[in-house]
Chains A and B, each alone.
Chain A
Amino acid sequence: MKRRKFLIGAGSVAVGSAAATGTGAFTSVDANRTISVNTAADSDALLQLTPSGGENGAFAEQSNGTLEIAIDGSNTDSDGQPAGSGINDNANTIIRDIFDITSQGTQPVFVWIEGLGDDPVGVFSDDPASGDSVGNPDTGMGPNNPGATPDLPPVNVPADHRVDPGETQGAIGFSFDTTGSNTVASSLDITVVAQAVSKYPDGETVANN
């Protein structure tokens, strides 16, 4: 190889490597890291859903890792309660204190229930976690709340439903109105929502405890 030709060859290699090795602090970084996620039963998950410790906790049970509420007599406690197999027709039925929601996450969340649809079913809590509404025991948690504080989450998430890490929104119950021509579907797939909210609907910032 002639010298000139060789230098040209070396030159182009050098240019190539200059671009590759660079002048900066780094030209490329390739880092393999780990990601791991597992599902956990409702009893252990970030949003803990558990049957209440009260008598009406018998209406709820963990089924294949998820909380199931059966008001049809299929869930019974060790004493065989409840013996009945459903709610009365043409009646208003309130069943308090069936299950609890505990936040096992890392920041304050607001919790509410969705998925009740147009059925005359209400969901409420008698135990506001924040204690902000002691004088207002029936705190609605869903769109239909007979006899409870009306709210349409998340448009108007009441401060009562704030649950800080480790805290519990307890004593959640249901109400059913089967009066007149009202009917309640035999199966409702309700959704428990827990959402970190930085501002209230009126724009006021949610303060950290």
Chain B
Amino acid sequence: MNRRTLLTTIGSISGGAAVIGTGAFTSVTANRDVSVQVTGDASAFLRIDDAGNANSEYITETNGEFGIALTSDNDTEEGGEGVNANSTTVIEDLFIIQNQGTQEVEVGVTPLSFVDAEGSDTLIALVVPQSSFPTVTLTPGEMETYSLVVDSSPGGTGLEISDTITINGEATQ
């Protein structure tokens, strides 16, 4: 193989003909700065946070990670250890998701419903977005507020939902 053929071959394999083919230089190594910081949910590009009201007691933050807990492990300041059996509990404006990025994103929370059942007793939790269902489109800076409806019927004090809620933000373009 002669040299010309070799260069052509390299060029077509790499597809980097513009870099390698001109002969001006064979390689360039340039160091640039890329800085990435991992931050808590409350200050991330996709902000997941309490709604800044009294209901923030129901929100937990573990190593910067957002969580919702209406449990004895996260009892209220006044000692409330969970929702009443045989009751409907509404927690309006429980948490928010805010787009702190640079482009429009579609935000979805899945699932929006959680169930635990034991015999004839059921415990149902519903996450209710305020402005759009099931997903919401947020421009940079915009936020969506979510409420929680919990229904326990007819009774039973041993019911428990312990689940994963997935928050997804996807650029619309």
Q: Which positions in A face B, CB cutoff 8 Å?
A: 1-3, 6-7, 10, 19, 22-42, 44-49, 64-66, 102-107, 165-166, 196
Contact = CB atoms under 8 A, between A and B. Distances in A.
6 contacts: A32-B164, A37-B123, A42-B84, A46-B82, A66-B85, A106-B54
A30 B44 CA distance: 12
Contact of A38 (B15, B60, B71, B169): B71
Contact of B102 (A3, A10, A24, A42): A24
A10 B16 CA distance: 10
A102 B78 CA distance: 9
A165 B70 CA distance: 16
Contacts, number: 205
Question: Which bracket fits the contact residues of B?
Answer: 35 or more
Contact of A28 (B69, B78, B169): B169
A107 B56 CA distance: 11
Given A40-B85, A65-B85, A106-B57, A3 B68 contact: no
A174 B76 CA distance: 30
Contacts of B142: none
Given A38-B70, A107-B54, A64 B157 contact: yes
Interface of B: 11-12, 15, 17, 41, 44-46, 48, 53-58, 60, 65-74, 76-87, 89, 92, 100-103, 105, 114, 123, 125, 127, 150, 152, 155-171, 173
Contacts of A10: 15
B171 A27 contact: yes
A103 B78 contact: yes
Contacts of A27: 103, 170-171
Nearest to B73: A36
Contacts of B162: 34-36
A31 B158 contact: no
A104 B80 CA distance: 5
Given A24-B101, A24-B171, A29-B168, A34 B67 contact: yes
* Most chain A CB inside 10 Å of its own CB: which residue of B46, B81, B155: B81
Contacts of B168: 28-31
A40 B102 CA distance: 43
Contacts of A33: 41, 48, 65-68, 164-167
